[in-house]
Structure 1
Amino acid sequence: MCPTIRHGAWKGAWRGLTGSEIIMLKNIPTKSVVTILAIGVLVGFAIVGSFDAFVDYTSSNEFCGTTCHEMDTVTQEYMESPLYKNNHGFRVGCADCHVPKPLFAKLWRKAKATKELYHKVMGSIDTPEKFEAKRLILARSEWQRLRESDSRECRNCHFYEAMTIETQPNTARFWHPMAMDEGYTCIDCHKGFVHRLPDLAGEIQKAAEHFEAVLAADALSEDRLYIARAAALYSGVSTEDGTIAELEPGTPLTVLERRDGWFKVRIQGRQYQTDNHTLYDIGERMVVLARAQGGSIQIGENVTRNDATGLDWRPARMEGWVSRNNVTSQIASLWDYGKAIYQNECVRCHVLFSPSDFWATEWKNKLHNMRRKAGLSAGQTEILLKYLQHHAKPQGMI
């Protein structure tokens, strides 16, 4: 009889067994039980060890860089970066940035990566041309992953607590304290450090071409139109007539008359205290619609005080003629263009704030400070500013 059967801890186990089953268990030698358990443990270790070795291998630079020719482009970029070779003699591997260290996060990352087998079979990025066409999508996916994990892989090596902020370059000395206070994450600012950035300027160009196509196809049959690009307001139906105002992109127009490719329009807005040369939007945001020359703004008498800002406003309007080449009935297409400029230009250097994070007046100051760093034309900068201002936080709201 197996001596362990006599122990009280096993008595309850016998009650549910038949006589033949009890006899069979009694006949199993103790050594056999130990052997089976030992084999089970060894097999378990072998499975776990093999799986761990497999995970480690699929996280190695060798696997990442040489298994698939689709990775040739980014591998070459990595090998030319400071993370691969530098005067300090350290090297950061592919997995250090792209594979989480916590077990469950790592396994989930590996599971999600199995979809790449499908794209391998389908040849989604099996040529340099296909890869470049998908580079922006791939980059945004990885940026989003890092953002959602609060740049976990970056923080394996970099710690705010270990930084000597006062000795950092000017830009870092400004942004790192702000990032700590506001909860920004590493990838918000640090893009394109190892792998080449996507063709963001090309994305802006595509958006510009689409916007121009919308303008060309616009019948302009509506009585409600908008300024599509900065334009002059004339006193008559010719550029030889005197200019009475400069109109900003997004300014709403009410059409009063049409003549030979020109529109006589009215711009309804408000006038701010003693500023008799600027027409502002009627809404809750201080957005400039037009800058008038002379006394072309017709100003009403009623004064309204804005409780949020403490400013006094009077209703105002102006009338004049604009060329059909500078207007659109599709205001959404103008804002789509402005959004494309914002998402593909400002993302190069820092976090993308929501337009509603700041007042319209704050956006004006921010773009003024950043314009020398941006590779935008004057027209693109104006459209970007108006997109942000028209979607900004209401003036005075905390």
Structure 2
Amino acid sequence: MRWLLNIWRTLTKPAKYLTLGSISISAFLMGIIFWGGFNTALEATNTEEFCISCHSMESTPYKELQQTVHFSNHSGVRATCPDCHVPHDYGRKIARKLEASHDVYGWLFNTVNTPEKFEDKRLEMASREWKRFDRDKSAACKNCHQYDSMKWDSMSKLAVKQMKRAAELDQSCVDCHKGIAHKLPEMGTARAPELIAEVGRGVSGVQVGQTYFTALTKPLFFNEKTDVEAGTLNIATKVKVLEVKGNRAKIGIDGWRKKIGAGRVIYYDFGLNILSAQLTKDAALEEGVIKTFEEKEDPMTGLKWQRVEADIWTDTDYLLTDLQPLWDYARSTYSTACSVCHTQPAEAHFDANTWPGMFQGMIAFVNMDQDTQALVQKYLQEHSSTFDKSAH
């Protein structure tokens, strides 16, 4: 430790022979050398060559980029990795570089060094980038694509309508253009990768007697073994687990059905067109699948409804213990996606049976997958004036 103490005494000891000017000039020159070296290192790590020096980056995302218009196009302008993934202004670039320490950890511990590991992490990595693009309204895209430079007369009428509204809001490009440079995450039966990234894939082991909520639209089956589908279980539907065998669970779905035809469709409540499940005709007529209870007539339509419980099988994945994360995601999605064309009405502005028609008229102008559409519609219905009595 003696040499450390000597260095410390030297550094803290007042100068005897150097003038204030020579000290200032020396400090200035050392600052230039340090700053120059720092920026040289910064720019060296801000090139495509550096990005793809990691094998997992070169073998998968870089090859995907090479198949897109961002790599090769008629104008010869190419977007490289740092063009999209590193902010151009200095302060945010430094912050991004610090954030990239997470990538260094992944490289050291080989978290994505095989195609299988990469696919397992693809959703997580993509979701992180989508959120970053959302935070800065896709500033990286707008370094090349400027709203005020677009030729509106060369677009379709629908594109003009959407893009002009996006320009007014300075909307993030990835709201509508995910998957434009890299393959979208594979989610198996899932069609809503962002939704699943937000709410999770469900509990690891479901318990008999417990209630759950479906995180996705899921297939129903006649028993624990067959692959023959017996219908569809709608997203955000409450179910009770009656039996578990392997990766299948027998569930009970409480609701109401219209007493017409085979009565295949199960609704959330009497007189409300809020979908819980749709059975096939064979499943609806199968003995033991549907239990019926009380019967009521809808005064608005004259149709008779039956309170029912459907006991049927489904896979145990994508079952959540809490409904609130789904509603939070639906509220956020409705607030952002559905304000592209106009100010969206409040949830309680319409009743539960009016919302489907109104919502279907909106979704033609937004980029929303089927599961998210179904979730947002159910959220609007279950938070409509039918349930919120404080609304007009």
Q: TM-score, normalised by structure 1?
A: 0.60
Q: Alpha-carbon deviations, 1:12-41, whole Å to 9, x = none?
A: xxxxxxxxx99x85xx365xx544433322
Q: Residue 100 of structure 2 corresponds to which residue in structure 1?
A: 113
For the pair 1:387 / 2:374, whether they are aligned, the reply is: no
The residue identity in structure 2 corresponding to 1:367 is Q
Secondary structure of the residue aligned to 1:66 is coil
For the pair 1:367 / 2:385, whether they are aligned, the reply is: no
Are the counterparts in 1 of residues 56 and 112 from structure 2 also a CA contact under 8 Å?
no
1: CA distance, partners of 2:384 / 2:36 = 56
Q: 1:263 aligns with which of 277, 284, 291?
A: 291
Q: Which has the larger radius of gyration?
A: 1
Are the counterparts in 2 of residues 146 and 152 from structure 1 also a CA contact under 8 Å?
yes
1: CA distance, partners of 2:219 / 2:124 = 19
- Displacement of 1:260: 5.4
Q: Alpha-carbon deviations, 1:296-341, whole Å to 9, x = none?
A: 3xxxxxxxxxxxxxxxxxxxxx4466653499xxxx96996x959x
Secondary structure of the residue aligned to 1:265 is strand
Q: Alpha carbons of 1:390 and 1:265: their partners in 2 closer, same or farther (altered >3 Å)?
A: farther
Q: Alpha carbons of 1:158 and 1:49: their partners in 2 closer, same or farther (altered >3 Å)?
A: same
The residue identity in structure 2 corresponding to 1:250 is Y
Are the counterparts in 1 of residues 51 and 57 from structure 2 also a CA contact under 8 Å?
no
Where do 5+ consecutive residues of structure 2 fail to align?
1-12, 193-200, 202-215, 225-237, 244-251, 272-286
Are the counterparts in 2 of residues 77 and 195 from structure 1 also a CA contact under 8 Å?
yes
Q: 1:103 aligns with which of 84, 87, 90?
A: 90
Where do 5+ consecutive residues of structure 1 fail to align?
1-20, 235-241, 254-258, 278-291, 297-317
Q: Residue 9 of structure 1 corresponds to which residue in structure 2?
A: none
Are the counterparts in 2 of residues 233 and 321 from structure 1 also a CA contact under 8 Å?
no
Q: 1:189 aligns with which of 176, 179, 183?
A: 176
Secondary structure of the residue aligned to 2:183 is coil
Q: Residue 218 of structure 1 corresponds to which residue in structure 2?
A: 242
The residue identity in structure 2 corresponding to 1:387 is K
Q: Alpha-carbon deviations, 1:124-181, whole Å to 9, x = none?
A: 1111111111111111110001101121212222222222334323442121122234
Q: Alpha carbons of 1:181 and 1:243: their partners in 2 closer, same or farther (altered >3 Å)?
A: same
Q: 1:250 aligns with which of 254, 268, 276?
A: 268
Structure with bigger helix share is 1
Give the fraction of aligned pairs with identical amino acids, expressed as a percent: 21
Are the counterparts in 2 of residues 233 and 322 from structure 1 also a CA contact under 8 Å?
no
Q: Alpha-carbon deviations, 1:169-216, whole Å to 9, x = none?
A: 344212112223455321111111111111256424974559879968
1: CA distance, partners of 2:373 / 2:296 = 21
- Displacement of 1:362: 4.6
Are the counterparts in 2 of residues 74 and 195 from structure 1 also a CA contact under 8 Å?
yes
Q: Alpha carbons of 1:199 and 1:367: their partners in 2 closer, same or farther (altered >3 Å)?
A: farther
1: CA distance, partners of 2:187 / 2:269 = 28
Count of residues paired in the alignment: 301
Q: Alpha-carbon deviations, 1:249-292, whole Å to 9, x = none?
A: 43369xxxxx9554333477975xxx424xxxxxxxxxxxxxx3
Q: Alpha carbons of 1:246 and 1:104: their partners in 2 closer, same or farther (altered >3 Å)?
A: same
1: CA distance, partners of 2:71 / 2:185 = 21
2: CA distance, partners of 1:110 / 1:199 = 28
- Displacement of 1:71: 4.3
Q: Alpha carbons of 1:267 and 1:160: their partners in 2 closer, same or farther (altered >3 Å)?
A: farther
- Displacement of 1:68: 4.2
- Displacement of 1:116: 1.7
Secondary structure of the residue aligned to 1:87 is coil
Secondary structure of the residue aligned to 2:162 is helix
1: CA distance, partners of 2:297 / 2:32 = 76
Are the counterparts in 1 of residues 52 and 62 from structure 2 also a CA contact under 8 Å?
yes
For the pair 1:276 / 2:301, whether they are aligned, the reply is: yes
Secondary structure of the residue aligned to 1:203 is coil
Q: Alpha-carbon deviations, 1:74-105, whole Å to 9, x = none?
A: 01111222112111011122111111112111
Once superposed, what is the RMSD of the aligned Cα atoms?
Answer: 4.7
Structure 1 range deviating more: 133-142 or 353-362? 353-362
- Displacement of 1:52: 0.7
2: CA distance, partners of 1:38 / 1:72 = 49
Secondary structure of the residue aligned to 1:150 is coil
Q: Residue 92 of structure 1 corresponds to which residue in structure 2?
A: 79
Q: Residue 54 of structure 1 corresponds to which residue in structure 2?
A: 41
Q: 2:140 aligns with which of 153, 157, 162?
A: 153
2: CA distance, partners of 1:132 / 1:334 = 27
Q: Alpha carbons of 1:226 and 1:262: their partners in 2 closer, same or farther (altered >3 Å)?
A: closer
Are the counterparts in 2 of residues 249 and 383 from structure 1 also a CA contact under 8 Å?
no
Secondary structure of the residue aligned to 2:291 is strand
Are the counterparts in 2 of residues 59 and 95 from structure 1 also a CA contact under 8 Å?
yes
Q: Residue 172 of structure 1 corresponds to which residue in structure 2?
A: 159
Q: Residue 238 of structure 1 corresponds to which residue in structure 2?
A: none
Q: Alpha carbons of 1:367 and 1:269: their partners in 2 closer, same or farther (altered >3 Å)?
A: farther
- Please list, as runs of the form range in 1=range in 2, the aligned pairs for 1:193-208 lying within 5 A after superposition: 193-200=180-187, 202-204=189-191, 207-208=216-217
Are the counterparts in 1 of residues 257 and 307 from structure 2 also a CA contact under 8 Å?
no
Q: Alpha carbons of 1:46 and 1:383: their partners in 2 closer, same or farther (altered >3 Å)?
A: closer
1: CA distance, partners of 2:361 / 2:176 = 20
